[in-house]
């Protein structure tokens, strides 16, 4: 078994003493559990909220270190609203295949509130785009799943304050 050498130990000590930290500061604010409000969808395109909510349930514990909690006991409530979903036709096709290449652009509003006081802890608008190509068996559904994963990751990362 090898012991950390003096240079490595010194580097670790220096990083820890100069203000750098790993992970999120949610726990330093007393937030250990987060409840996710079912994602609301104010766009004309429906049924995009379910995959995003499912991805958020996977991403919040992974990227923030916070656990998921119930709305009655969590330290904070995360509310996501899908404000807009734009469909783009990038490459037009034929009558049999009208769109050869397209895309979706999502705009969501993120709010994290203290459950007990209702104080707004974080608020941000986040956008994400994904493309699909019908010749390689992609469609709006595959683009939706890709954006759901990307948006969930971006939302979790947005819970960290700017440094």
pLDDT, residue 79, reads 95
CA 117 vs CA 29, 69, 71, 77, 120: distances in Å: 13, 17, 13, 11, 9
pLDDT, residue 102, reads 80
CA 58 vs CA 21, 53, 103, 139: distances in Å: 23, 9, 24, 24
At 20, phi and psi to the nearest 5? -80, 145
pLDDT, residue 19, reads 43
135 within a domain of the structure (yes/no): yes
What CATH number has the domain bearing residue 23? Answer: 3.30.160.150
97 within a domain of the structure (yes/no): yes
Q: Please, which residues bridge with residue 4 across strands? A: none
The whole-model pTM stands at 0.73
Taking only the tens place, the pLDDT of each residue in 86-131 is 876 766 666 666 667 888 889 999 999 999 999 999 999 999 988 7
The parts of the chain modelled with pLDDT lower than 50 are: 1-4, 6, 8-23, 163
112 within a domain of the structure (yes/no): yes
- Our count of domains for the chain comes to 1
Domain with 88, as residue range(s), is 6-158
pLDDT, residue 18, reads 45
62 within a domain of the structure (yes/no): yes
1 within a domain of the structure (yes/no): no
42 within a domain of the structure (yes/no): yes
The single-letter DSSP state of residue 75 is: S
Under DSSP, is residue 78 helix (H, G, I), strand (E, B) or coil?
strand
38 within a domain of the structure (yes/no): yes
CA 94 vs CA 86, 97, 98, 100, 146: distances in Å: 22, 5, 5, 8, 26
pLDDT, residue 54, reads 94
């Amino acid at each position: 078994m090898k012991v950390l050498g003096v240079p490595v130990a010194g580097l670790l000590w220096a990083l820890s003493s100069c203000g750098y930290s790993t992970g999120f500061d949610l726990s330093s604010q007393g937030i250990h559990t987060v409840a996710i409000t079912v994602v609301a969808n104010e766009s004309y395109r429906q049924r995009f909220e379910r995959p995003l909510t499912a991805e958020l349930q996977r991403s919040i514990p992974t990227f923030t270190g916070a656990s998921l909690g119930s709305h009655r006991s969590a330290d904070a409530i995360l509310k996501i609203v899908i404000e807009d979903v734009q469909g783009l036709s990038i490459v037009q096709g034929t009558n049999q295949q009208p769109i050869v290449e397209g895309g979706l652009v999502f705009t969501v509003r993120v709010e994290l509130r203290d459950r007990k006081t209702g104080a707004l802890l974080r608020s941000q608008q986040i956008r994400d785009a994904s493309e699909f190509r019908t010749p390689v068996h992609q469609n709006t559904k595959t683009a939706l799943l890709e954006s759901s994963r990307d948006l969930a990751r971006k939302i979790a990362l947005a819970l960290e304050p700017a440094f």
